[in-house]
Every structure is written in structure tokens, then in C-alpha cells.
Structure 1
Amino acid sequence: MRHFLSVAAVSMSLVCGLGAAQAQLPAMPSTKSLSGLTGGLPDMSKLSAGNAAGVLGYCVKNKVLGGGDASSVLSKLTGKPGVTSSADYKTGEAGQLGTGKSALSLDSLTGSLKTKACDMVLKDAKSLI
């Protein structure tokens, strides 16, 4: 919503003759970020294998994600040496999505935002296998 309003304001300034040089379009959230929706979800591309595995475990345990895909990825990640013994894994199991600099409790998200966050972790976790 914030991006939409910013784009609308920029468009209005162009229509009013302020010129393109003064207008700057805001950066749109990357496909690996929900910051535009949640106000600060950590960058998924910086998740450790341990945190991704822990968060996937949290998502499966709390029935946010289900099915064979999530369980298969979780099993492969937790089978990697050192993943389940890492502090990041334990943090993830507690529902804390973090990258070292920032963290977000999945318990603070509701409905579709929590599902979207878990889906994004699953997608990124596949690249960590």
C-alpha cells in the first residue's frame, strides 16, 4: 500500500509539471522480501541452513505448511552435518526468522502473511540443500 501511494504521488508530481528529474520511484520489494507487506521481514536470501530448517520445522509443526515438499526439504536440511545443533536451528524452531541483523517472530504474523513467509522460506531452503 505504501508503495502504491508513493507511486501515485510521483505520478501526480509528473502530471503537475515538476519534471521527471525530481521524481524518484521507490524501490519495490524483491521477490525474496515481504517488507512491503509486513514492515520488515528479513531478507530470505540471507537465511542460514540452520534457521531455514528450524523455521520449516516450525511451519510444518504449526500446520502452516504441509505436504511432502516441505517435509522432504526439511528432512534433507536436517540431515546435513551441524544443522540441527546450530543456534540458528533452535531459533528457527521457536518461530524466529532471522538473518543475524534482523529477526521476525512468525507468531507476530497472521493468516496469509504467515503462510507467505513459510512459503518463501521453503523456496529458499530448496537452494540450501
Structure 2
Amino acid sequence: MPNLQGTPLSNMAGVLEYCVRQRLLEQTARVTGLRDGLLGRAGLARANAPTQDSHYASGLAGQLMGSGSSLDFGKLQKEFKAKACEYVLKHAASLL
């Protein structure tokens, strides 16, 4: 798992959206609030994020970027994808 200290906020937001779309996380008010909070802190409006920010787009594609490394969710088994989503969710909560 990459160290999330250097992960762009917009990438974490994109990964959270990926996790919801893949049904790895339930779309709750908490998840939505964290995603939107990360986008807000990154200076991006939710509606424009995918077209304006490559880090968000990478997250939507299941690419988690960390300090010097990355994680491709597509290469993980479902149980590990879910754990990775929870990891990102917990880290996102600590940032807001």
C-alpha cells in the first residue's frame, strides 16, 4: 500500500468515487462528504473535477498515487480492493 502522505487530495477523492462505483464502499453521506471535502480542499468543483484534474481522473480509473509509488486497484482481488478503499477512507477522514 502506498504511503498516502504525498497523495494528491483530488486523487483520493477520485479513488473514493471509484470505490463507490465498484460497490466496494457504500455511498453514504460520510463517503460523499469526504469526497466532496477533498475536492474542495484541492480547489476543484465536483462537476468539473474529472475534466480539469488528471489526479482525479487517475483515481476514477482505480489508480491510487502515493509518495513515490502507486497502487492499481485493477490488479487486486476484490477483498483487497475493499481493504484499500477503507484505508483511503480513513486517511481522507484524518485530513478533513
Task: Answer yes or no: same fold by TM over 0.5.
Answer: yes
Aligned length: 89
Q: Which amino acid in 2 is paired with 1:96?
A: Q
Q: Distance in 2 between matches of 1:108 and 1:47?
A: 19
Bigger RCO of structures 1 and 2 (CA < 8 A, at least 6 apart):
2
Which residue in the other structure is 1:82 paired with?
A: 44
Does the aligned pair in 1 maintain the 2:64–2:71 contact within 8 Å? yes
Q: Distance in 2 between matches of 1:114 and 1:98?
A: 15
2:33 to 63, 72, 79: 72
Q: Distance in 1 between matches of 2:11 and 2:74?
A: 16
Unaligned residue ranges in structure 2 (runs of 5+): none
Which residue in the other structure is 2:77 paired with?
A: 110
Give RMSD over aligned pairs: 1.8
TM-score normalised over the length of structure 2: 0.79
Which residue in the other structure is 1:56 paired with?
A: 16
Q: Distance in 1 between matches of 2:27 and 2:20?
A: 9
Runs of 4+ in 1 over 3 A off after TM superposition: none
Residues 1-129 of structure 1 mapped to structure 2, 5 A cutoff: 41-68=1-28, 69-80=30-41, 81-82=43-44, 84=49, 85-99=52-66, 101-129=68-96
> SS at 2:44's partner residue?
coil
Identical pairs, percent = 35
Q: CA shift at 1:112, angstroms?
A: 1.7
Q: Which amino acid in 1 is paired with 2:68?
A: K
Report which of the two has the higher share of helix.
Answer: 2
TM-score normalised over the length of structure 1: 0.61
Does the aligned pair in 2 maintain the 1:49–1:128 contact within 8 Å? no
